[in-house]
Chain A
């Protein structure tokens, strides 16, 4: 092997960084009451919350894809005034405290909101809240990939008789597929773990808006064991999907 040895100072810091991220997760696994786990995870409330979490996070992902991919395309391919402002605004939910995001959603789509859809306290509200925080991950990933694609492919497609819509679906979209997959995985994971915006905008009711993170938070107050079990479930679920996605990106590259 002729590969140079990495400098020890960097390695040390990297190991410290990895430990910082992994230790809390390992501690959680350590505290998990493994023998009573099947029982804790099959309680009605856990199953309901899990099912709802999957529905909501997949719904949020679908919503993010439907509006996020065109949004990324707009940012990457179309020149218009105020584009830099829009680009900043799209990333805002990344830094906005989710609770504030939830209040903002209430003011926009609440019963007395700008667009009074009365989505608060409905599963649609939970999906909307999760999409609000997940969307930036998808838009950023896809926009970055679109910017990396040579626009000559669009031009070639045009000279080959392809309209812009056909070019988008047959050329552009397949070429950003790896980034789309990566962005989707991150957006979905973010939606799955979303707490603040959901509880503020959609409220917390088992079966309709009480997703797994909300269940964890409230269960923590009187049954820490069950809360740890639910957290482990959430963690395992995200881990499986993220690892699966990661190996897939490698295959497609």
Chain B
């Protein structure tokens, strides 16, 4: 494998990583600060993708559709938090899992009723539909856009959390929630905002993934499992951990798929190497998770 191909695969890995980060950031924030396991996080991802797809013909462009879809998804998050989740904070995790699993079924069925069972159409905007030439490497323009948006969000989140008053409260809430409440902070408002932020990020991830992936009912659950792997590796509740975990998972998954079948071919015949390589590649991230947890049981960047 030559250097150019390796560079392309590295870029692919980073791009998948930032995609996962958009999802993981919201999930880990909600868990770390609100101590809420939100299985329905993937539903907001799906809602973001569907809203974008539905709004492109109405608003006449991908960018305005994306902006409105992200906003609407965040608003939906606010509503769901107030209506369905607020009473669950004091309950144990199993109740939360049950309730948010119910939300998954609810949203899947709702989307099926509204948009039908068949996957719907969403393409990248014309300006980003082609490929760009990066020093001899032909790369899909939209994937570069995902990379850029993901990195911008990572930077924005870092600024928000490290440099603002809200961020300070979020950090304090993640470390010691009772103390923050005792100091008279309006925790209800803070939780609502954090949840809406998480949902907005999931919606953004959905909107950015829509042109690359199938926009279909159940798309949220497919990515949710990977997202849980990311936040467990990164350390639950840590944005920095989510970033590191997401990039690690993205790169390991991509390079595993790129390199493992080829390296298996060196030691066995090609038919069994193809099958064994594919199987090993699909296990790679779970092996990574097991290794990380064996060395650091609370993840790479444990909180609290």
Do A and B actually bind? no
Residues of B within 8 A of A (CB): none
Residues of A within 8 A of B (CB): none
